[in-house]
């Protein structure tokens, strides 16, 4: 007799559940497919983020020099005497300005 004509012993209607084993080959193929997908995704994301990170690092170099120039200009304004001829505003170094404020407060 062929297997198709026989009653299926792995199914027990009285027990209420299927007594067959799982499809090991199907589970193994699914696990391998997931593993391959995750591995490929990791490599793709790693290369993408490496490229983006490198672009960001290179873009920080120019603003860094601009920031250093701005700091130097600001330091110059804070540490030197200067007079704006158009508005008549006179700038005093910050250290001297603080001394003047302390002297004024003590009067």
3-state secondary structure of 57: helix
What's the pLDDT at 5? 43
Task: Give the tokens for residue 49.
Answer: 């983020």
Report the C-alpha dihedral over residues 25, 30, 33, 34, rounded to 10 degrees. Answer: -140
pTM of the model: 0.41
What's the pLDDT at 16? 64
What's the pLDDT at 35? 98
What's the pLDDT at 61? 67
Q: Which of 92, 68, 66, 90 is nearest to 79 (CA)?
A: 92
Q: For the chain, what are the domain ranges? A: 11-81
Per-residue pLDDT of the chain (107 residues; tens, 9 = 90+): 444 445 555 666 666 666 677 889 999 999 999 999 999 999 999 999 999 988 887 777 667 778 888 899 888 888 888 888 888 888 888 888 888 899 888 87
Which residues, in sequence order, are bridge partners of residue 12? 17
Angle, helices 94-106/24-79, rounded to nearest 10 degrees: 70
3-state secondary structure of 22: coil
Residue 93's Cβ-count burial label (10 Å; 0-12, 13-18, 19+) is middle
């Amino acid at each position: 007799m062929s297997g198709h004509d026989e009653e299926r012993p792995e199914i027990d209607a009285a027990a209420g559940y299927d007594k067959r084993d799982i499809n090991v080959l199907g589970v193994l193929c699914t696990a391998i497919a997931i593993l391959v997908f995750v591995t490929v995704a990791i490599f793709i994301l790693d290369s993408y983020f490496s490229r983006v990170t490198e672009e960001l690092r290179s873009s920080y170099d120019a603003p860094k020099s601009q920031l250093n120039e701005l700091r130097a200009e600001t330091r110059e304004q804070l540490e030197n005497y200067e007079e704006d001829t158009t508005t008549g505003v006179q700038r005093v170094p910050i250290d001297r300005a603080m001394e003047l404020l302390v002297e004024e407060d003590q009067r």
